Structure 1
Amino acid sequence: MKKLILGMAIVASAFAFGQKKDANALNAQLQEANKVAMDAYNAKNYAAAAPKFIEVYDLLKSSGQDNKIYMYYAGLSHALANNTDQSIKIYTDLINSGFTGVETTYTAKEKKSGQVVNLDKATWELMKKNPDYSDFKTEQTKSIESDLYETLSSLLLNAKKPTEALTIIEKGLVKFPNNAKLKEAQTTAYLQSGNTDKFVSGLKEQLAKNPNDATNWYNLGVMQAKNPATVNDALEAFKKAIELKPDFSDAYQNLVYTTIGDDAKVVGEINALRKDKPDEASKLIDGRRERFGKALPYAEGWYKANPKSLDAVTALKEIYIVTKNMDKVKEMKAKEAELTAAGAK
């Protein structure tokens, strides 16, 4: 979400309303509302800023100036104030109206004072005939259209409205097909809507473009770990995430559990076989010990990345028990007691 730049004042208003009744009063209202809005925003009082920007917009519109940039400011302020519904409505209206944020500013220099003044287009054209002014210039602002799509997509996803988000994202991608933020939002929307196949495809597409994104490797691993046929792919994805981000605690954790597998199920099978089929039980025990041995370096990495995690300590303790490293078991039990006493989770 882009930061709001509020260095402007409504200096053109006095010219725009110069021929209207009560123009001075209306201009004074504009200046006051604009000042209150900017002051509130700069003070991070976004909830107060939003309605004042709307007031500025309404005052301008009443004079014939439909300047939607102030509705954009209002929508952004609502978003920053976590007034999600209001912000979504404003951003949706702006996109549907075709608003892009592109504005042309008109300036001229007053010869006597050397001051550059902002003018509305009609006044700027008239002033060209005035010998007291020179250096007539126009300047066009950059489009913020892509930001509108990005922000609205984010707002809809945060509001858990993936279907609506996908509609906006797909519309935005038609205009901005290479927009990385919209592509990322699309992947998230697929996940929220339960379309896991498209979610995984989106992750792979993003990783093809940016293979150094540790979070996307982690997310891909999470999805692949859900399918027994892609468990090995999940392990490689988690390893890639750690390679890119050595302190990625969650990736270590998932490596541990994915490597070990469904241990409760295995223990149940072992217990069921111990009496009547001890040889088969022994094979399962050996396989379990082998998996725990493979998980050990990942568990140690998890503990190193997050030494205050009770889950990491407990997992490491259990692995040391299975791999029969009793000195380490004693050490982890002490650490487990320490963390439990401190209220760690």
Structure 2
Amino acid sequence: MKSKYVLLASALLVSVSNFAQKDQIKAAEKSLKNGNSAEAVATLKQAESTIGSASDAEKAQYYFVKGNAHADLANKKMDAGKNFPEAAKAYQEVLSVEKKSGKSKYSDDAKTALTDMKNKLINAAVDAGNAKNYKEASGLLYQAYEVDKTDVEKLYYAANYAVNAQDFDQALTWYDELKKLNYSGEGTSYYAKNAVNDQEEFFGSNAAAKTDRDTKVRLKLYTNPRDEKVPSKRGEIYKNVALILVQQGKTEQAKKALAEAREANPDDTSIALTEANVYLELNDFATYKKLVTEVLAKSPNDADLVYNLGVIASKTDAVEAEKYYKRAIEIKPDYTNAYLNLAILKLDADKKIIDEMNKLGNSEKDNKRYEVLKKQRSDMFNSALPYLEKAYELDPKNEEVGTTLLNVYGALEMTDKKKALKAKMGK
């Protein structure tokens, strides 16, 4: 008789507990409706220890209200770094509980809230990045990744921003996570021109983006569809890891990391190129040239690869760099950056010439030297001019190219061309 009484008392306790949970969830909903999200969070905290024994319907309701409360606090900029992840975790619990139970009372709203939260985090990260608040931007992007772990690209950019913020330990942690996920970022980006304003728009880089773009082109809402191959980012990831390790004085670890990367990705030429770049940073020119030769032997007609070799060579050997840039143009005649970098190579001596000219006096000897330098400068501008004009022809919206070309026209006293270019650029 006594044991039955104990069981009955236990059942009554569970019942009372369930009523308390319902009351707490309702009270939290009321607080949230009245705009007091902090109070809602505090009320839900009281039900946290017993929510595991609640029904699936109550669990889903509890987590949905919790997600809304934390999201509201984050949107009000109240400890957003803590509240955004808490909200995301709660919404994900909603999806998990309702998927298991086979019901979906809150799932659609939870998905919408997660998408909205992710977009806000990304927009905030872009604003922070534009303001050069790189540490803040990296944290926001990592939160966006936490909201949607299928979007690994956000983790990649979070790590890159951490590098810009010189938060190298955090960057290494996130790069290691990318390596474990075997992230490459390789794919195709889909573009098309808006039929209304004739502006090219980016649709995305997945199958859904392609379908959306193709459908809108078929409906004649967009024109000129264009696909752009997105190269593997593995090389850049391993490069950044290696360069951080080199900066931290961990040279052997950097070499080992690159050797392991090459072993794991033998066909990824970007990693071999990265290894070459690191040896260049270490002033090991013999190993650098050996690796470059190996890379080029594997992909002699890869314009991007040849161009990258030009970028690396430009640090030490302008003649070699020019050879690579010209080869890249042979392979891909519309390679804008190759034309631009060729022009920059030609213009590289300008500062040195100007400095020497400024130091000259008014003696006959100095005047003769001045004329020699003036001729050298004119020849230099003339040699760069065709590459700049071609780069501008290929990419007339590129401000850097247009401004540099204006300066060259001015230096060569090509008044008519400078005036025409100014008009075209709206200056």
When normalised by structure 2's length, the TM-score is 0.41
Determine which structure has greater relative contact order: mean sequence separation of CA pairs < 8 Å that are 6+ residues apart, divided by chain length.
1
Instruction: Compare the two structures and name the one with the higher helix fraction.
Output: 2
Q: Return the TM-score normalized by structure 1.
A: 0.50
